[in-house]
């Protein structure tokens, strides 16, 4: 997993996920310290399943299987030592752990082209709405002779994973309602897709944003705006909730 985080810029946030997990566990320490220690033999089943999965991963099933086996084995160890109460208490950190797993190749390979096309169409739509002439040919945008290719690395998966993770962390920190946490995670998907479309449209419209430092900064600013959008959405959802309850 370390190698994946180091080499794949879609997954480099994986370095931060364990830090956030440890911080969440520390933050919840009073809760899990109060739990009784009731070791469960089911933990051994978890450990055996993890070992089988790891073996399959080593045989060639893939890095995802091996990494999932790691999470499963930690869950098994928690069950063996603390029992189901502890596992329930640590369910959220385990859920966060899913964000550090490598991309599942089958899903990624199937999803990357539709996402590229979606980003291309969104960017073309944004430019057309803004009155800027654009010709879209597949995943290539031609804005007045300036061509931008929405290649695999631009498919928006980076925004999706990063914003999805942040939506979960943000939901955990600011709201205790389960539906709100889920709503924020679901809202992160269209926000990330739209933001990626805006980013591609900006690179097509302003050639100065196409590469280097300005390009990195524009991508970064758009992501910060995504986060601000999530914060605004949370307030909106809360207002709607209060309105319907009253």
Return the structure tokens found at 35: 């739990």
Comparing CB distances to another protein, the nearer of 45 and 59 is: 59
CB of 207 to another protein, least distance (A): 9
CB of 127 to another protein, least distance (A): 14
Q: Which residues bind another protein (CB under 8 A)?
A: 5, 9-13, 15-16, 20, 59-60, 113, 116-117, 120, 137-140, 147-154, 156, 158-159, 161-163, 165-166, 169-170, 173-174, 196, 199-200, 203, 210-211, 215-216, 219-220, 223-224, 227, 231
Q: CB within 8 A of 132, min separation 6: which ones?
A: 143, 205
| Strand (E) or helix (H) holding 146 | strand 146-149
CB of 29 to another protein, least distance (A): 19
Comparing CB distances to another protein, the nearer of 46 and 159 is: 159
Comparing CB distances to another protein, the nearer of 60 and 133 is: 60
The whole-angstrom separation of Cα 137 and Cα 234 is: 37
CB of 25 to another protein, least distance (A): 16
**Phi–psi pair at 245, nearest 5 degrees:** -70, -35
Comparing CB distances to another protein, the nearer of 44 and 221 is: 221
The whole-angstrom separation of Cα 40 and Cα 77 is: 10
In angstroms, the Cα distances linking 185 to 23, 105, 179, 180 are: 20, 22, 10, 9
């Amino acid at each position: 997993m370390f190698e994946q985080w180091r080499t794949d810029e879609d997954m480099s946030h994986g370095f931060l996920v364990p830090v956030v997990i440890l911080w969440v566990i520390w933050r919840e320490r009073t809760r899990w310290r109060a739990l009784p220690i009731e070791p469960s033999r089911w933990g051994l089943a978890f450990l055996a399943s993890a070992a089988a999965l790891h073996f399959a991963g080593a045989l060639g099933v893939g890095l995802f299987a091996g990494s999932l086996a790691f999470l499963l084995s930690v869950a098994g160890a928690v069950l063996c030592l603390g029992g189901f109460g502890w596992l329930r208490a640590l369910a959220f950190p385990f859920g966060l752990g899913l964000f550090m797993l490598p991309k599942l190749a089958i899903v990624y390979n199937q999803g990357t082209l539709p996402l590229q096309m979606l980003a291309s169409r969104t960017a073309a739509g944004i430019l057309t709405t803004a009155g800027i002439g654009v010709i879209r040919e597949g995943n290539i945008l031609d804005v007045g002779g300036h061509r931008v290719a929405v290649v695999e690395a631009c498919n928006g998966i980076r925004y999706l994973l990063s914003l999805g993770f942040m939506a979960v962390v943000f939901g955990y920190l600011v709201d205790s309602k389960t539906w709100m946490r889920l709503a924020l995670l679901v809202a992160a998907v269209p926000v990330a897709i739209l933001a990626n479309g805006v980013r591609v449209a900006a690179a097509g419209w302003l050639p100065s944003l196409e590469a280097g430092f300005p390009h990195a900064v524009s991508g970064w600013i758009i992501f910060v705006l995504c986060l601000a959008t999530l914060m605004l959405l949370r307030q909106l959802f809360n207002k709607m909730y209060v309105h319907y309850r009253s």
